[in-house]
């Protein structure tokens, strides 16, 4: 890309990248949504994905800490409020723990992170480092995977409820909330990016930020699929569905 795109062309380029690289294209998600995973594999997904959920407010706080404009901060802080809630047991992180509880996972094992796959941890932390190190524009652009979230969430909820008798609608409450939160958040971030990426260089940075973030999500599923589906080679200290335990 060497010519300046119009804001709408930039949006189209971002959406085309998502169509190609968003993790709804990953075979693990197809297995998850179509009921072809067993309970242990769904547990492994929920346990590892908790690391991502746990770090979302840390990531958003790192972005917030770089926003000079109070008006911008007022909007962005809502993401932290959504995930942390107003008291114990509220918010997106707590709702994710309802899911891991419903799946029968030991709460301490989940929250301690001791049974995680290394690849999960590295991908999630790369995301936090990215928003700390790069420009504010790139940090905001890296959130744009949320543009593609509502579709995958709808598929996931319908598919998981239809196929897994160990999953209830209550256990999936996290996703219910995300169906309204994600479009609001991504609409703001997309507008910001379209308005502020006003040079070729900034547009390239924005596209690279989305590329990076697609890799963060994709490689988490690589790690899960490799360890729990095929070939099923597991880091020795990772969650073991047979014993329901991990490293001590």
Closest contact distance (angstroms) between CB of 23 and a second copy is: 10
Answer for which of 90, 181, 222, 240 binds a second copy (CB under 8 A) is 222
Counting contacts by CB under 8 A, is residue 20 touching a second copy? yes
The footprint of a second copy on residues 182-211 (CB under 8 A) is 211
Counting contacts by CB under 8 A, is residue 236 touching a second copy? yes
The candidate with the shortest Cα–Cα distance to 57, out of 75, 87, 88, 84, is 84
Q: Give whichever of 86 and 243 is closer to a second copy, judged by the CB atom.
A: 243
CA dist list (Å): 240 to 49, 80, 100, 184, 235: 16, 32, 15, 38, 10
Q: Give whichever of 177 and 226 is closer to a second copy, judged by the CB atom.
A: 226
Q: Give whichever of 167 and 210 is closer to a second copy, judged by the CB atom.
A: 210
Residue 57, CB half-sphere, CA atoms under 13 Å: how many?
14
The footprint of a second copy on residues 25-84 (CB under 8 A) is 25-27
The candidate with the shortest Cα–Cα distance to 65, out of 133, 146, 121, is 133
CA dist list (Å): 65 to 69, 94, 136, 163, 220: 10, 24, 10, 42, 26
CB 199 within 8 A of CB 4: yes
Answer for which of 73, 78, 226, 241 binds a second copy (CB under 8 A) is 226
Footprint of a second copy (CB under 8 A): 20-21, 25-27, 117-119, 121-123, 125-126, 129, 211, 215-216, 218-219, 222-223, 225-227, 229-231, 233, 235-237
């Amino acid at each position: 890309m060497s010519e300046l795109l119009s804001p709408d062309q930039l949006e189209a380029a971002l959406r085309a990248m998502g169509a190609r690289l968003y993790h709804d294209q990953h075979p693990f998600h197809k297995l998850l949504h179509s009921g072809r995973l067993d309970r242990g594999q769904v547990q492994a997904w929920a346990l590892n994905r908790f690391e991502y959920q746990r770090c979302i407010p840390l990531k958003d706080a790192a972005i917030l800490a770089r926003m000079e404009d109070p008006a911008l901060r007022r909007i962005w802080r809502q993401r932290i409020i959504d995930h942390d809630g107003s008291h114990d047991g509220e918010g997106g992180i707590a709702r994710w723990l309802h899911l891991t509880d419903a799946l029968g996972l030991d709460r301490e094992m989940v929250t301690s992170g001791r049974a995680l796959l290394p690849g999960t941890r590295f991908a999630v932390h790369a995301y936090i480092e990215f928003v700390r190190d790069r420009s504010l524009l790139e940090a905001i652009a890296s959130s744009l995977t949320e543009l593609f979230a509502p579709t995958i969430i709808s598929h996931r909820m319908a598919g998981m409820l239809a196929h897994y008798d160990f999953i209830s609608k209550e256990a999936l409450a996290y996703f219910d909330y995300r169906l309204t939160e994600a479009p609001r958040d991504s609409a703001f971030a997309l507008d910001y990016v379209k308005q502020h990426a006003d040079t070729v260089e900034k547009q390239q940075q924005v596209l690279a930020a989305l590329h990076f973030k697609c890799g963060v999500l994709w490689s988490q599923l690589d790690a899960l699929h490799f360890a729990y589906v095929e070939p099923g080679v597991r880091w020795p200290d990772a969650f073991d569905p047979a014993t329901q335990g991990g490293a001590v």
